[in-house]
Chain A
């Protein structure tokens, strides 16, 4: 049985039993993409902002003024082509790295299969895939979140984890932090003494954040749901290699099969901006149903809801909708999550919405949730 990984170890630098191995060429490719992304982020923050100000003649251009000012300008066209080009190359470079060593990854998966399990994996052969996941390859990830090539496939999970880490580094997020650690710091401040017995991570994906929650609350039983079979399979073997027991289920986050009131803590990371509005509302209803009295739900997502977000930033965030396979980003920005929570049954006085700076990075974390009282 593997030694149990500690919360402080579970960040973007974590190596585990199914981590792909970089060769010299992979290192060159991925570092090139990383540095290109870093520089493009700096050009976005400084140069393009100045161009928008200059062409609009306004110090703080609105979203519409920013769009009008930048559309058709040579620097913006160049930045856009390079940004999307770097994103495409990221997926190709990572996909090639994974495919080259897939036989080795499969051998490692088989070796983990033979060990005694602490957690569990439940794949539903009758699972009905939500339509929006069939239609969109979020962030341009080839195959999206749901690609599954067979009963032992883990490729989508390896790719999602590697892509997420490189993308986050490229936009300036440091290696020594994670979304789960940020949520846990926030929960510790807002709900000191919270000690859940059962935790549910909605849309748990490759399971890194789920591992973080389980490591933070080792006495709790931690569950995760996701639609992607290969993601869940990867998360299962990865968590086993880390000595962290997770109970993973192929279920729709909007309609899980758990009993009413069966969790004390329900979390999600970067889920809400990737679902249609009606699904977001249904997820809030499901959170209300799943929480026991006194339980807490917290969702972490992109900080585009912030009312005082400058218009230029809003425009650049919306650019993702059309250019980086983020079809629901704009609708998410125009949706009040607290109102959706209240409509689902939560008391207005016990909902919260907050923006917290990253520990290692330039961005803000967006937290929204409620306590069921």
Chain B
């Protein structure tokens, strides 16, 4: 039997100005798209260094090493560093 399931409830607004909430969403989407580009460039560069053609199939099958995962982690941490700055500012008052 076909059932159309529920969608997520509307989320609260976290900032007085709703535009700031929207900006946070935009930054996360942008961060995700940059992560995709980083993933592709890394795979292309590594394949090229091994003398392989960076075809779509080769990019999809590529397994990045742990060193690249550290770069992924560092990117997310840098993106979120301003939250730590907000915490530090709060603690200094």
How many residues on the B side are at the interface (Cβ–Cβ under 8 A)? 49
Q: Is A54 at the interface (CB under 8 A from chain B)?
A: yes
B17 → A minimal CB distance (Å): 11
Binary per-residue interface labels of chain A (121-159) against chain B in the complex, 1 for a CB within 8 Å, 0 otherwise: 000010101000011110011111111111000001000
Binary per-residue interface labels of chain A (74-100) against chain B in the complex, 1 for a CB within 8 Å, 0 otherwise: 110111111011101100010000000
A28→B87 contact, CB < 8 A: no
Given A146-B3, A229-B3: A39 in contact with B87 (beta carbons within 8 A): no
A143 → B minimal CB distance (Å): 3
Q: Is A191 at the interface (CB under 8 A from chain B)?
A: no
When chains A and B are docked, how far (Å) is the Cα of A319 from the Cα of B13?
14
When chains A and B are docked, how far (Å) is the Cα of A204 from the Cα of B50?
45
Q: Is A47 at the interface (CB under 8 A from chain B)?
A: yes
Report the nearest A residue to B58, measured CB to CB. Answer: A24
B8→A75 contact, CB < 8 A: no
A315 → B minimal CB distance (Å): 15
When chains A and B are docked, how far (Å) is the Cα of A25 from the Cα of B15?
32
Contacts of A146 on B, CB cut-off 8 Å? 3, 5-6
Contact of B36 among A29, A36, A81, A144 (CB under 8 A): A29
Contacts of B28 on A, CB cut-off 8 Å? 36, 82, 85-86, 89
Binary per-residue interface labels of chain A (17-59) against chain B in the complex, 1 for a CB within 8 Å, 0 otherwise: 0000111110111011101101110010001101100110000
Given A25-B39, A35-B77, A38-B76: A144 in contact with B5 (beta carbons within 8 A): yes
A137→B90 contact, CB < 8 A: no
A27 → B minimal CB distance (Å): 6
Given A24-B62, A73-B90: A145 in contact with B24 (beta carbons within 8 A): no
**A interface residues, Cβ below 8 angstroms from B:** 21-25, 27-29, 31-33, 35-36, 38-40, 43, 47-48, 50-51, 54-55, 73-75, 77-82, 84-86, 88-89, 93, 125, 127, 129, 134-137, 140-150, 156, 229, 322-323, 325
